[in-house]
Structure 1
Amino acid sequence: MATQQLNIAAPRSGDIDPKYLRKSASPGSNREMVKWLFMRISGPILMVLIFVHLFSNLMVGDGVHGLNFGLVAGKWASPLWQIWDLVMLWLAMIHGTIGVSTIIDDYTNKDRTRVGFKVALYLASIAIIVLGTLVIFTFEPCMTDAAGNLLDNSPSFCFNQ
């Protein structure tokens, strides 16, 4: 049985098939460096944000049994937790979008396919960021009717005010 030898071009040797080369940002652009730097800085920040979030929700108070509407309503009554969750949302979505965008660049050969995937990715990311931000800042656990009276299905802590 004869063995075939596979010739693979050395990296940066210039022997790369041009159909696999993509047009990158303009030579004077720092876009790739900025994305690389953002990923390296946002990763550790996200780790702190996420672990504090998990600790405060799962370990403090009643633990996992205390996870309910009232816990979220109580946390989001504080501007600290609103900003904390907002920063976590924005950083996670931008970090994830850049990561998935890189994967799309690596695994799509046709420009049309790449553009389609990226448009869908960016639209979904923008929608999640906008909707998440709206939820965080417009969340109102104590719903009232037109006359300003609390609704019957409001959480119990609304009636104690």
Structure 2
Amino acid sequence: MTADTLVPPRTPQGKASVRRKGPNLEQWGWVFMRVSGVLLIVLIFGHLFVNLMVGEGISALDFAFVAGKFSTPFWQVWDVLMLWLAFIHGTNGMRTIVNDYVTNAKVRRVLVTSLWVVAGFMIILGTLVVFTFDPCIPNLSNGSVVAEVCRAQG
């Protein structure tokens, strides 16, 4: 290519023009975003339907409702799957934005690493909350259904 030849926009230059061996992580990221997006739609609308429309609707949402949901393994897995997919999907989207707009390689690396560290911490914390949730820990002496159940178990 001569010096007076115009290169089409967005043509990879330098290291970016050479395809590295190994898995194409950008392609797998693209596929993940589409699959997780569809799964998230199903999970979120199922979550909203059960929480807001089934039974007494939104007026039934209280501590006892959440305690009842988290005592069932099905809803624990449902909510953890929704949590994991939402955080990974969102972090991957933010990673794509950072890769598109941050030109300094060191700054980009710091931002992407911090995104994944924060997402990993929040995923671990959220998973622990869902699987270790115990409705009998708070001091429930107000005559609620949860207080009666906790007294019956203890």
**TM-score between both structures, scaled by the size of structure 1:** 0.78
For structure 1, list consecutive stretches of 5 or more residues without a partner in the other structure.
1-7, 145-149
Looking at structure 1, the residues matched to 19 and 109 of structure 2 have their Cα atoms a distance apart, in angstroms, of 15
1:51 partner amino acid: F
1:38 and 2:32 correspond: yes
Residue 99 of structure 1 deviates from its aligned partner by 0.7
- Residue by residue over 1:56-78, the C-alpha shift from the partner in whole angstroms, topping out at 9 and shown as x without a partner, is 00111222222211111011111
1:157 and 2:151 correspond: no
Identity %: 45
Residue 156 of structure 1 deviates from its aligned partner by 2.7
**TM-score between both structures, scaled by the size of structure 2:** 0.81
Question: Which of 70, 84, 90 is matched with 2:84 structurally?
Answer: 90
Distance 1:113 1:142, change over 3 A: same
Q: Is the 8 A contact 1:142 1:154 kept in 2?
A: no
Residue 11 of structure 1 deviates from its aligned partner by 4.2
Secondary structure of 1:141 counterpart: coil
Match of 1:4 in 2: none
- Give the structure with the larger helix fraction: 2
Residue 84 of structure 1 deviates from its aligned partner by 0.3
Q: Which aligned segments of 4 or more residues in structure 1 are displaced greater than 4 angstroms?
A: 21-25
Q: Which has the higher contact order (CA 8 A, sep 6+)?
A: 2
Match of 2:3 in 1: none
- Residue by residue over 1:29-53, the C-alpha shift from the partner in whole angstroms, topping out at 9 and shown as x without a partner, is 3211211111111111110000000
Match of 2:121 in 1: 127
Looking at structure 1, the residues matched to 116 and 57 of structure 2 have their Cα atoms a distance apart, in angstroms, of 36
- Residue by residue over 1:102-121, the C-alpha shift from the partner in whole angstroms, topping out at 9 and shown as x without a partner, is 00000101112111211221
For structure 2, list consecutive stretches of 5 or more residues without a partner in the other structure.
1-5
